[in-house]
Structure 1
Amino acid sequence: MSEVIRSVETVGEAILDLLQLRGVDTVIGGAPTSMIEAFAKYGSQGKPAPRAILTPHEQTAVAMAHGYFAATGRPQAVYLYSTVGTANGVGGIINAARARVPMVILAARSPIAEQRDVAGARDIHVQWSQESYDQAAMVREYVKWDYEIRRPDQVADVIDRAFEVAMAEPQGPVYISIPRDVQAAALDEIRASAASRRITDARLMPDPARLDEAADLLASAENP
């Protein structure tokens, strides 16, 4: 399988590239600074990237992604603000889970680093006061998979895994949290397969011909 190598500068840019590579044409919600910078950079360079749709509230963002899939059959990405942003989107995530609507939810999270020389490190009071020990716990009962990216070299594998799980039957939302300093972390390039290595086209029912074959084997077996 052919490999795609793309030059990037940050994890935020890598996420945008990977979403575009996997067929996402819209990122809905309130993107963090690293993603906004990537959108602006790619726009000024004429580089392909998903369209950004900013929403006034996270519930609106999740509902729009739900409707987008209903209209097109293609899952899109939703970006939520850390902690309270996820709380605001929970109602929409429950709706998506019950309706079996796939979407990849990317949630900001308070930075891990506190050192001043680390890009994206904690620097204002809210990043301590809104910290959550287990942010994904708010949605874990309603998503098929949740994970937190802690290292830049995880990005390609985690994004592919997210789409695999979201699209496999029964379809549904997945939740990926990303601390701010991880989003801002330097990254020189991403390496990803041209087509996802993940299998997402699981059948809803067995092949009738294979069922007949299995029945014949059982019927003719001496010791079934």
Structure 2
Amino acid sequence: MYTASAAFLEALNEAGVSCIFANFGSDHPALIEALAEARATGRAVPAVLTCPNEMVAMSAAHGHALVSGRAQAVVVYVECGTQALAGAVHNAARGRVPMLVFAGASPFTQQGELRGGP
């Protein structure tokens, strides 16, 4: 099935992103499913490097971009994960290193108020 996550991976691939430096979590099941489906069907997608911390993810992407000359993708949790990028964002901005940063979606229901919600 062609989903938004599949289109996202396709766009990254077409943009020349070779790696996704990620700290996956509850924000990213659709993306993980799209990665698995792409691998199962042989579609090209960027390599995923799992990082235990957001600062590590962006710092690794920073280094890769310096060596390869191409912007890389960073995928993190929303809110606290995005906040944890602060130092690495500063480093990349000061060094004028290109980076693509994506965060998950913040939940807007908690008690099952909407169909399909938690």
TM-score, normalization by structure 1: 0.47
What residue in structure 2 maps to residue 66 of structure 1?
A: 62
What residue in structure 2 maps to residue 115 of structure 1?
A: 114
For the aligned residues, what is the CA RMSD? 1.5
CA distance, structure 2, for counterparts of residue 112 and residue 71 of structure 1 = 40
**Equivalenced residues, count:** 112
What residue in structure 1 maps to residue 19 of structure 2?
A: 26
Q: Which runs of 5+ in 2 are unaligned?
A: none
User: Is residue 2:70 matched to residue 1:77?
Assistant: no
Q: Which runs of 5+ in 1 are unaligned?
A: 1-7, 124-224
CA distance, structure 1, for counterparts of residue 72 and residue 11 of structure 2 = 12
CA distance, structure 2, for counterparts of residue 61 and residue 15 of structure 1 = 19
CA distance, structure 1, for counterparts of residue 42 and residue 23 of structure 2 = 22
1:19-70 CA-partner distances (Å, limit 9, x unpaired): 0111111111124111111111111111111111111000000000100011
Q: Residue 102 of structure 2: SS of its match in structure 1?
A: strand
Aligned residue runs from structure 1 range 132-147, under 5 A: none
What percent identity do the matched residue pairs reach?
Answer: 36
CA distance, structure 2, for counterparts of residue 26 and residue 101 of structure 1 = 15
CA distance, structure 2, for counterparts of residue 10 and residue 93 of structure 1 = 29
Aligned residue runs from structure 1 range 45-194, under 5 A: 45-112=41-108, 115-117=114-116, 121=117, 123=118
1:73-112 CA-partner distances (Å, limit 9, x unpaired): 1101100101000111111011101111110101112135
